C-alpha cells in the first residue's frame, strides 16, 4: 500500500528533507507504508552528489541546498510538481538502474495523458521532449528540452528524493545554473509547450499511471539503454 500526500502550500526544502529521511527510516523498519509526496518548493537550487561548482552560474540568485541525492544542479520552485518517492526498492526488484527507468517510464506515461511524447536519452537522466520548431543544436541534432528531472537516494534500499515535472514554473529561474550539467539543451514546461495544464491535472495523471509504470510486466523497460 502506498500513501499519497499532496501539499497545497509551498514546502521548505529543510522540512521536506527531514520528512523524507524520517519516513524512509520508518519504511525500512517496517513501521510505515511507502509514500508518494506531491508538493511545490519556494524558488531554490539543489546540488546533487555530481554537481560541479562551475555549473552554479548565479550563486546569489536563490538559496542553494547541498543534497546527497544523485545528479547535479537543478531548480525547484512554484509551478513545478515535485514528486518525492519513498518506496521500498528491495521489494521492487532491488535494482537501482531498473528503478530509475521505472521512474522515467512513469513520467513518460503521465505526459502521454496530455499528448506529449517524452524521451529517455542515454547519458542524460530525466525526460526530454523534441523541439523541431527550434534551430538545430551546434552538433546538428534536433533541439530537445528537458521537462522532468530525476534524482534519488537510497538508504537501506528505501528511496527518497525523486522527480520534478515542469508544469508552469518561471523558466528564467533555470538561468542561474546549468541544469543537470547539460548546456546544449534547454528546459521547457507543459505550459511552455502550449498546454493549459494545472498541477492538479498532473497529479491525476500521475495517480492514473503509477501502477502501470511499476507493474511486473513493465520489467523490459529496465533493459533499455
Q: What is the DSSP letter of 110?
A: H
Neighbouring residues of 30: CB distance < 8 A, sequence distance ≥ 6: none
Q: Is 84 annotated as ligand-binding?
A: no
* 224 band by pLDDT with thresholds 50, 70 and 90: very low
181: confidence class by pLDDT, cuts 50, 70, 90: low
Q: How far apart are the C-alpha atoms of 167 and 199, rounded to whole Å?
A: 7
Q: Confirm or deny that 69 is annotated as ligand binding.
A: yes
Domains and CATH numbers, the chain: 2-223 (3.30.930.10)
* Cβ contacts of 41 within 8 Å, gap of 6 or more: 10, 11, 12, 13, 16, 76, 77, 78, 80, 82
Q: What is the pLDDT of residue 27?
A: 98
Owner of C-alpha cell 552560474: 57
The whole-chain average pLDDT of the chain stands at 92
Does the annotation place 70 within a ligand binding site?
yes
pLDDT tens digits for range 90-139: 999 999 999 999 999 999 999 999 999 999 998 888 899 999 999 988 88
- Residue 191 corresponds to which cell in the numbers above? 505550459
| Residue 118 among known ligand-binding residues | no
Output b/e per residue, 23-58; b: 16+ Cβ within 10 A.
Answer: bbbebbeeebebbbbbbbbebbbbbbeebeeebbee
68 confidence band (pLDDT: 50, 70, 90): confident
| Verdict on whether the full-model pTM lies above 0.95 | no
**How far apart, in whole angstroms, are the C-alpha atoms of residue 178 and residue 206?**
27
The CB-side HSE value for 170 (13 A sphere, CA atoms) comes to 10
Computed from CA positions of residues 162, 31, 4, 40, in that sequence, does the dihedral angle turn out positive or negative?
negative
Q: 176 labelled as ligand-binding?
A: no
Residues labelled as active-site residues:
180
Instruction: pLDDT band for 225, please (50, 70, 90 cuts).
Output: very low
User: What integer pLDDT is reported at residue 221 of this predicted model?
Assistant: 52
By three-state DSSP, how is residue 138 classified?
coil
How confident is residue 209, by pLDDT bands cut at 50, 70 and 90?
very high
Amino acid at each position: 500500500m502506498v500513501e499519497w500526500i499532496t501539499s497545497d502550500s509551498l514546502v521548505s526544502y529543510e522540512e521536506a528533507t527531514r520528512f523524507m529521511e524520517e519516513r524512509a527510516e520508518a519504511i525500512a523498519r517496517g513501521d510505515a507504508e511507502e509514500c508518494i509526496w506531491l508538493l511545490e518548493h519556494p524558488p531554490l537550487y539543489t546540488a546533487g552528489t555530481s554537481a560541479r561548482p562551475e555549473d552554479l552560474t548565479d550563486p546569489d540568485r536563490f538559496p542553494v541546498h547541498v543534497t546527497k541525492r544523485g545528479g547535479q544542479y537543478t531548480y525547484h520552485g512554484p509551478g513545478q510538481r515535485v514528486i518525492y518517492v519513498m518506496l521500498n526498492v528491495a521489494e521492487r526488484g532491488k535494482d537501482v538502474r531498473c528503478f530509475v527507468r521505472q521512474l522515467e517510464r512513469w513520467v513518460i506515461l503521465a505526459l502521454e495523458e496530455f499528448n506529449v511524447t517524452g524521451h529517455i536519452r542515454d547519458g542524460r537522466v530525466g525526460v526530454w521532449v523534441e523541439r523541431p520548431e527550434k534551430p538545430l543544436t551546434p552538433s546538428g541534432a534536433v533541439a530537445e528540452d528537458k521537462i522532468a528531472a530525476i534524482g534519488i537516494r537510497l538508504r537501506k534500499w528505501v528511496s527518497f528524493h525523486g522527480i520534478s515535472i515542469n508544469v508552469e514554473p518561471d523558466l528564467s529561474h533555470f538561468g542561474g545554473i546549468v541544469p543537470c550539467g547539460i548546456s546544449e539543451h534547454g528546459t521547457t514546461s507543459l505550459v511552455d509547450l502550449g498546454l493549459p495544464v494545472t498541477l492538479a491535472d498532473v497529479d491525476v495523471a500521475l495517480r492514473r499511471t503509477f501502477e502501470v509504470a511499476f507493474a511486473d510486466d513493465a520489467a523490459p523497460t529496465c533493459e533499455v539503454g
